[in-house]
Structure 1
Amino acid sequence: MDILTWTYLLVGFSFAIYIGIAIYTKASSTKEFYTAGGGVSPLANGMATAADWMSAASFISMAGIIAFSGYDGSVYLMGWTGGYVLLALLLAPYLRKFGKFTVPDFVGDRYYSNKAKIVAVICALFISFTYVAGQMRGVGIVFSRYLEVDINTGVIIGMTIVFFYAVLGGMKGITYTQVAQYCVLIFAFMVPAIFVSMQLTSNPVPQLGLGGTVEGGEYLLDKLDGVLTDLGFHEYTTGRKPTADIFAITLALMVGTAGLPHVIVRFFTVPRVKDARLSAGYALVFIAILYTTAPAVAAFGIYNAIDTVAGQPVDQLPEWVGNWQKTNLITVEDKDRDGFVQYTPYQDTNELNIDKDIMVLAAPEIANLPNWVVGLVAAGGMAAALSTAAGLLLVISTAVSRDLFRTFSPSMTEKRELLIARIAAATAVVIAGYFGVNPPGFVAEVVAFAFGLAAASFFPVIIMGIFSTRMNKEGAIAGMLCGLIFTLSYIIYFKFIHPELNTMEHWWFGVSPEGIGSLGMAINFLVCYLVSMVTPAPPQKVQDIIQDIRIPRGAGSAHDH
């Protein structure tokens, strides 16, 4: 069978599973819609968390960034992995014990203020819409190549699928759909990685193949360094970014992870605090499988791509180039009319442009793997994008229905709240689709902006809300607003108003828009501290709650000693 047939078969089969699960697990109450009824097993929740966490940025775009940036791309590996550890150990158990399953709900109760809650809702919406834009873009890219439609049509198809199971099933449907999506995405990521590792290094373990030797006995990374420097590239294994920016991006991704509302809510779908810790451990193992493989996929992909295209006759390029040219995600232009492809990125003489987001998706075709592997990767890319999109849409609907409408109308019936949640999710799907059609950057870049916004707005107020009894509502409101406005303004200025100034010479302290969330976080912490010091302390009741959530169950209260 050809690639298109395999793609329809595998993507269609996976979609049928997702929709079947959504129908079977349809939410019938707000508890099921928001937290899946709180009865999910730690193992299932670990898989669902991993799928929620590993978005289109992880599956589609991260290896692409590493492929084209080499060492500099490692910030995404370090930041996202380290951030999950930070979230699992430092925040999740305390938030679970506090009992509020949305960040705005936590902020509203901890800071005894509806104003603080509304500011948190605004922050959650900014973060979630920015993040989901990257997912919808990923959906469009997958569909555009494998179903042979344009990216905009692909985004609309993805919107329809997400609308169905996110709006219908809520968290209950999403959780069990994400278990299936994790199985699909991890299988789809590992199978081609193992195939290509065997081809290049004769080692079936990609992580070991990355450090192995290719034909001729030369180490793969040494050979890759040589190929790239011959073409005028920087060495693959050394970096170009300034240390300050690497630190800032890594930190922003780490602390942004700990403030992401769609991941935090997953710890409320299990019955006990102990189960929240256990599911976090499972999730880390499941995440590590993909994250330790991504550098190998990146190196294999860029090596094969350059080997099959650079310096080749324009009229004899491999079939995979023609396939991706139809999507406009690869362009070839023989500028000097010598009949050969000159690959000199970032220079006027460059005749080949490869979109960063296609490296993982194109890898099986570049390596001439069987057609069923190509179709499998398409299904995996869809699973990664849709799983995270669904989680984010639930956060948006919850923020509107529970954290906004319920605040102003506390006597609202459960049936009405569920209806509002579904309407909010449906509206969010349409808005997300618009940003998928008109994205502010490539997938991982857009997601990095979302993490920066989360770092600058939520992380300080959550940390200080748990570990400081002196932190009050005035400090929280001022800190969130200052952090969000500063970070958002910086990103908008350099990405939309003056993109021509988006260079190292013009960045503040050498920090790029992807890393500016670190400075936003520092501003938030400083404002929180200063304002809370010159305003009244929180009520004693709130201080007692903060003391108690840090004491493990069964160890007595904070006042027993």
Structure 2
Amino acid sequence: MDIKTLTFIIVGLTFALYIAIAIWSRAGSTSDFYVASGGVHPVLNGMATAADWMSAASFISMAGIIAFAGYDGSVYLMGWTGGYVLLALCLAPYLRKFGKFTVPDFIGDRYYSQTARTIAVICAILISFVYIAGQMRGVGVVFSRFLEVDISTGVYIGAVIVFFYTVLGGMKGITYTQVAQYVVLAFAYLVPAVFISFYMTGHILPQTGFGATIAEGVPGSGEYLLQRLDGLSAELGLATYTEGARATIDVFAITFALMVGTAGLPHVIVRFFTVPKVSDARLSAGWALVFISVVYLTAPSIAAFAKTNLINTINGPDQQGVAYEAAPGWVKNWEKTGLLKWEDKNQDGNMFYSGDERNEMVTVDRDIMVLANPEIANLPAWVVALVAAGGVAAALSTSAGLLLVISTSISHDLLKRTLTPNITDRQELFWARVAAGIAIALSTWFGINPPGFVAQVVAFAFGLAAASFFPAIIMGIFYKRMNSTGAIAGMLVGIVFTLGYIIFFKFVSPELNTPDNWLLKISPEGIGTVGMLLNFVVAYVVHKATGDAPQATQDLVESIRYPRGAGGASHH
């Protein structure tokens, strides 16, 4: 069977599974819709959290970035993993004990202010939108290749599917669907990695193959894989693979923004309310880290294999170029999507890939590397189809979690808690579904006209979360005297500064987007770190000028931090 037919069968089967689960566990109440009635087992919740967490950016784009940026790409790996640890240890158990399952709810109640709640709702919606745009783009990349349509059509198809099962199942449906998606995603990521590692280095574990010598019969045999990659990179005028070009301060800023941005991400925090007890929240966080590391520890090896294979197949074993007529099938397949383009600059009929003016591969989209990897390495068609199913699972599981944040922010925090407190459960559920529909329409537009590649767009979302939510949540838990005026001022300054900086360099004056023009040499992807520091400083200064939080609030914060029997805080 050809790749297209197999892809239809495998993706079709996984979809049938997801939709069956969504129908089986359909939400009957708002409690089901928002937090799956708090009855999910910690190990299963860990799997669901891992699927929620590993978006299209992790599955499709992260290894692609590392393949192109080498050492510099590792900031995404370190930031996203480190952030998860921070979230699990410093925030999840306290927020769970506070008993509020949305970030705006926590901020509104902790800072005893409707204004604080409304600002938090706006921030949550903004962050989730930027994040979903990246996911929709990821879904589009997958569908465009395997249905052989252009990327816009791919995005539309993905949007319809996401809408269907988010609106039907709510959190309960999403949780069990995400468990299935994690299994598909992890399997799809590991199978080609093991195959390619064995073929290229003779090692079954990709992690050890990454540091091993290349096997006989493969170009460069006997050399260490990374040594070969560095040598090829130097010869072809590409950036060296194992040394970074970014300024150290920028590497630090991006890693830190991704870390603390993680800890302020609304759709991951919600996951800690779907388990029965506070201790289960910690347990499921630990399990999630185990499940996440399965994929994250494999990404650098996939990146190195993919980049080496890409150079070998396009330039040939002697690095002189390969005749376009004799080009492997995957080149022509990806050309149809517009994500790979070849231009015969010297009219010799040969393709050639390099980092200087000799380069004839005028477009090689970073987001295709993981999906094209099995095809480049000539793996069986079913493996290619499996990776497609994994990419779809990764993008869909996160999109669903984010849409839930947008819909709950609007229906629960904005309508029920602020504008129309008298609406019934049924009306609240109706508005949650309407909000999800509008959110999908907008994010589809951004998926078709993205401001960057998938992981870059997602990095902006993390920067915005770092600059707005993280300080408000940390001070809300660990600094009981922080008042509402300080928190509001800090959030506003942080989000406005960070958003302004990103918009200026990405949309207003992209030609100025170089290290020489950046503030302190910090890129738009890393600026959330500066926004976060501004937020802390402004909040502290304003709080000092306007006095402490009321005593009742201080007592409430004490009771979250020093347990007096489970759930004590939520009954005050």
**TM-score bracket for the superposition, by shorter chain length:** over 0.9
Shift of 1:82: 0.1
Does residue 477 in structure 1 map to residue 482 in structure 2? no
1:4-83 mapped onto 2 (5 Å cutoff): 4-83=4-83
> Which of the residues 226, 234, 244 maps onto 1:239?
244
> Which of the residues 316, 328, 336 maps onto 2:326?
316
TM-score by length of 1: 0.98
1:551 and 1:557 in contact (8 A); partners too:
no
Q: 1-side partners of 2:419 and 2:309: how far apart? A: 58
> Which of the residues 533, 554, 558 maps onto 1:522?
533
- Runs (4 or more) in structure 1 with deviation over 6 Å come to 555-558
Q: 2-side partners of 1:351 and 1:205: how far apart? A: 34
> Which of the residues 372, 382, 391 maps onto 2:382?
372
2:98 and 2:567 in contact (8 A); partners too:
no
Shift of 1:536: 2.7
2:99 and 2:567 in contact (8 A); partners too:
no
Does residue 413 in structure 1 map to residue 399 in structure 2? no
Does residue 262 in structure 1 map to residue 271 in structure 2? no
Does residue 541 in structure 1 map to residue 552 in structure 2? yes
Does residue 341 in structure 1 map to residue 341 in structure 2? no
Q: 2-side partners of 1:144 and 1:555: how far apart? A: 50
Shift of 1:338: 2.8
Q: 1-side partners of 2:254 and 2:435: how far apart? A: 32
Shift of 1:553: 5.0
**DSSP-derived class of the 1:447 partner:** helix
| 2:500 match | 489
Q: Calculate the aligned-residue CA RMSD, in Å.
A: 1.2
1:149-188 mapped onto 2 (5 Å cutoff): 149-188=149-188
Q: 2-side partners of 1:110 and 1:552: how far apart? A: 17
Q: Which amino acid in 1 is paired with 2:377?
A: A
Q: 1-side partners of 2:406 and 2:239: how far apart? A: 42
Q: 2-side partners of 1:456 and 1:557: how far apart? A: 31
| 2:211 match | 211
Shift of 1:427: 1.1
Shift of 1:217: 2.0
2:468 and 2:494 in contact (8 A); partners too:
yes
Q: Which amino acid in 1 is paired with 2:335?
A: Q
Q: 1-side partners of 2:420 and 2:330: how far apart? A: 56
What is the CA deviation profile of residues 18-59 of structure 1, one whole-angstrom value per residue up to 9, with x for unaligned ones? 111111111111111000110011011000000000000000
**DSSP-derived class of the 2:515 partner:** coil
1:33 and 1:171 in contact (8 A); partners too:
yes
| 2:218 match | none
* 9 and 557 in structure 1: CA distance in 2 versus 1, 3 angstrom threshold: closer
**DSSP-derived class of the 2:11 partner:** helix
**DSSP-derived class of the 2:341 partner:** strand
* 170 and 436 in structure 1: CA distance in 2 versus 1, 3 angstrom threshold: same
Q: 1-side partners of 2:238 and 2:410: how far apart? A: 48
2:482 and 2:548 in contact (8 A); partners too:
yes
What is the CA deviation profile of residues 133-170 of structure 1, one whole-angstrom value per residue up to 9, with x for unaligned ones? 00000000000001112111111111111111101111
> Which of the residues 351, 364, 375 maps onto 2:360?
351
Q: Which amino acid in 1 is paired with 2:360?
A: E
> Which of the residues 325, 328, 340 maps onto 2:335?
325
Q: 2-side partners of 1:431 and 1:33: how far apart? A: 22
Shift of 1:339: 2.9
2:139 and 2:155 in contact (8 A); partners too:
yes
Q: 1-side partners of 2:499 and 2:566: how far apart? A: 43
1:70-469 mapped onto 2 (5 Å cutoff): 70-215=70-215, 216-310=221-315, 311-345=321-355, 347-352=356-361, 353-406=363-416, 407-469=418-480
What is the CA deviation profile of residues 175-230 of structure 1, one whole-angstrom value per residue up to 9, with x for unaligned ones? 11100000000000000000000000111100111011103321111111111111
2:139 and 2:158 in contact (8 A); partners too:
yes
1:211 and 1:221 in contact (8 A); partners too:
yes
Q: Which amino acid in 2 is paired with 1:222?
A: Q
1:32 and 1:172 in contact (8 A); partners too:
yes
Q: 2-side partners of 1:331 and 1:477: how far apart? A: 48
Q: Which amino acid in 2 is paired with 1:497?
A: V
| Deviates further, 148-157 or 452-461 | 148-157
**DSSP-derived class of the 2:322 partner:** coil
What is the CA deviation profile of residues 277-316 of structure 1, one whole-angstrom value per residue up to 9, with x for unaligned ones? 0000000000000000000000000000000102222332
Q: 2-side partners of 1:415 and 1:286: how far apart? A: 36
2:27 and 2:170 in contact (8 A); partners too:
yes
1:61 and 1:360 in contact (8 A); partners too:
yes
What is the CA deviation profile of residues 112-146 of structure 1, one whole-angstrom value per residue up to 9, with x for unaligned ones? 00000000000001100000000000000000001
Instruction: Provide structure 2 residue ranges, at least 5 long, that are not aligned to the other structure.
Output: 216-220, 316-320
Q: 2-side partners of 1:339 and 1:166: how far apart? A: 49
1:50 and 1:287 in contact (8 A); partners too:
yes
Shift of 1:348: 3.8
**DSSP-derived class of the 2:461 partner:** helix
**DSSP-derived class of the 1:506 partner:** coil
Shift of 1:411: 1.8
Shift of 1:231: 0.6
* 82 and 326 in structure 1: CA distance in 2 versus 1, 3 angstrom threshold: same
What is the CA deviation profile of residues 418-448 of structure 1, one whole-angstrom value per residue up to 9, with x for unaligned ones? 1111111111111111111111110000000
**DSSP-derived class of the 2:350 partner:** coil
| Deviates further, 521-530 or 306-315 | 306-315
Q: 2-side partners of 1:494 and 1:557: how far apart? A: 47
Q: 1-side partners of 2:568 and 2:380: how far apart? A: 61
TM-score by length of 2: 0.96
Q: 2-side partners of 1:408 and 1:543: how far apart? A: 27
Shift of 1:556: 12
Q: Which amino acid in 1 is paired with 2:560?
A: I
Shift of 1:545: 0.9
Shift of 1:341: 2.5
Shift of 1:539: 1.3
Q: 2-side partners of 1:112 and 1:205: how far apart? A: 53
Paired residues, what number? 557
Q: 2-side partners of 1:408 and 1:19: how far apart? A: 34
**DSSP-derived class of the 2:351 partner:** coil
1:314 and 1:334 in contact (8 A); partners too:
no
**DSSP-derived class of the 1:458 partner:** helix
Q: Which amino acid in 1 is paired with 2:391?
A: G
Q: Which amino acid in 1 is paired with 2:253?
A: A
**DSSP-derived class of the 1:298 partner:** helix
Q: Which amino acid in 1 is paired with 2:314?
A: V
Q: Which amino acid in 2 is paired with 1:360?
A: V
Shift of 1:318: 1.3
Q: 2-side partners of 1:556 and 1:324: how far apart? A: 54
| 1:507 match | 518
2:410 and 2:435 in contact (8 A); partners too:
yes
What is the CA deviation profile of residues 398-418 of structure 1, one whole-angstrom value per residue up to 9, with x for unaligned ones? 000000001222221111111
Instruction: Provide structure 1 residue ranges, at least 5 long, that are not aligned to the other structure.
Output: none
**DSSP-derived class of the 1:534 partner:** helix
